[in-house]
Amino acid sequence: MKDILKQQYAIIDIGSNTMRLVIYEKQDGGFYKEVENTKVVARLRNYLIDGVLIQEGMDILLQTLLQFQESTRFHGLHNVLCVATATIRQAKNQEEIKKLVEGKTDFVLRVLSEYEEARYGYLAVMNSTSFTEGVTVDIGGGSTEVTYFRDREIVEYYSFPFGALSLKQQFIHRETPTKEELEELRRYLWYQFQTLPWLKEKRLPLIAIGGSARNIVKIHQNAISYPIAGLHLYKMKEADIRDVREELESLSFTELQKLDGLAKDRADTIIPAIEVFYMLTNIIQAPSFVLSRKGLREGVFYEELTKKLGISYYPNVVEESLHLLSYEYEMDMKFVVQLIKQGTLICTQLEESEIISFSEKDWGIFYQAAKVFNIGKYIDTEASRLHTFYLLANKTIDGMMHKERIRLALIASYKSKMLFKQHLTPFEDWFDKSEQKKIRLLGAVLQFSAALNVRQRALIEKINVEKNKEKLVFHIVCKQSALAEKVQAEKQKKQLEKALKMNIDLIFEEEY
């Protein structure tokens, strides 16, 4: 690699339970795509005996790194960030381990401090979610990091010297815990978390990071037959965590290994992990438990991306995500500008005529939907609205919760009431009637605005809406004759009429 972050970027994460190599490649447009993600369940924590990583553990570490080295050499990568967390940090022979790695591989081992590990988890959350205040928890194999952030700045942090694997070793002596072992584990966790007064009754979202959290979400999604793909920003309630916890603790080890959503290599550590999450949810009195699929590795990556910009995180995560999405799917930004211009004219006029009202949130949603309106035409123009809905509903959009993602998909894919109802059916209980009405209206406005720019000539200068009894008259002022736009607008106005429950007359006028 000629220069880090110019073409490819790689990070090796040496955890207590797993080791992972991730390689990112820079795409046209400046965004990075994951091109390799290799995980090895090394379980180095098992080889930390009396505070020393024994020879067998060092051999596993070295062999895994040499395996990763084959990939990094193949890709021509020289500046690989190699970071280690709790097990290496806690090892008394840390210096010996670092010398071994540097002497036998291409990598320089960087052992993260407790603060760095907590901070990188926080950075991952800041760069991939829209939360302004909350508590993060990252449970690894040998440590658990918690942070409290307010106004998107870290306020408190702590690293507990236990993780899912070390809790299993300490409290559970067979494959699954006995009732007595569970009670002892819970007492221990309660005592540990009580040492941090700033955690108590925060009543803020608990944002969870790491493989254990991902597996808990997968189990829950499978259990309820969740209708869309994607783990990032999936939200659960305390009762959902309790239900999954009760199910896990009722199963035999063989049943755990076969449970949908649970990775086989986590069958013996998932119960200690969910006890941590459930205990924290209760202590914080969190209204929601939210998964961040982005964690320590991404936090390190985001730091590399943003430090040259003089910032720690992107100020508007959703806008950044939509910008990259529109670039990836080759949205015509001139067309988007016209959609926003014409849609804003229509909505402003409708609001001034007291036909509808728009909140600040409504305007934000409208602008977002305009940026990805009918994005599915990149895949196939004939079934573009179907592709638009499927793409936006199922693709992770950093910063956007799942409900907001579906709202965006419904608006950006709007074509007709029938298709809208078809798309809405699995999610009908996600939105109340007033929300459904607003979604449909915004979709119809964008559909009509697209008709006004059918030939992409940007002819529309002004739109004035006149309310005439039970009818609306749209006076559309154009730079020149707009016959094609008029024909298309007449075809599409019926969707807007149905959404508003009013007839619309269109009068096209040339500007003089």
Average pLDDT, the chain: 94
pLDDT, residue 310, reads 81
171-180, 207-216, 427-436, 458-467: which has the minimum mean pLDDT?
458-467
Residue with tokens 């939210």: 290
pLDDT, residue 38, reads 96
Average pLDDT over residues 274-279: 98
Average pLDDT over residues 471-480: 92
Q: How many CB atoms lie within 10 A of CB 323?
A: 17
pLDDT in tens, 151-205: 999 999 999 999 999 999 999 999 999 999 999 999 999 999 999 999 999 999 9
Average pLDDT over residues 467-477: 90
49-63, 391-405, 458-472: which has the minimum mean pLDDT?
458-472
Does 115-298 match 8-111 at the fold level? yes
The CATH code for residues 115-298 is: 3.30.420.150
In one-letter notation, the amino acid at residue 451 is A
Residue 168 CA to residue 163 CA, distance in Å, equals 8
The CATH code for residues 319-510 is: 1.10.3210.10
Name the fold adopted by 8-111.
Answer: Nucleotidyltransferase; domain 5 (3.30.420)
Residue 400 CA to residue 234 CA, distance in Å, equals 10
Q: How many CB atoms lie within 10 A of CB 75?
A: 17
pLDDT, residue 32, reads 82
pLDDT in tens, 223-262: 999 999 999 999 999 999 999 999 999 999 999 999 999 9
Does 213 have pLDDT greater than 70? yes
How many degrees, rounded to 5, is the angle at CA 510 between CA 509 and CA 512? 125
Residue 340 CA to residue 368 CA, distance in Å, equals 10
Q: Which strand ranges, in their side-by-side order, compose the sheet holding 289-292?
A: 153-160, 144-150, 133-139, 206-209, 289-292, 235-236
Share of residues in the chain with pLDDT > 90 (%): 87
pLDDT, residue 3, reads 42
pLDDT in tens, 74-113: 999 988 999 999 999 999 999 999 999 999 999 999 999 9
Q: Pseudo-torsion of CA 307, 98, 269, 273, nearest 10°?
A: -40
Name, in order, each residue with C-beta under 8 angstroms of 38's C-beta and a sequence gap of 6 or more: 20, 21, 22, 67, 68, 71
Domain range summary for the chain, segments of one domain joined by +: 8-111, 115-298, 319-510
Does 4 have pLDDT greater than 50? no
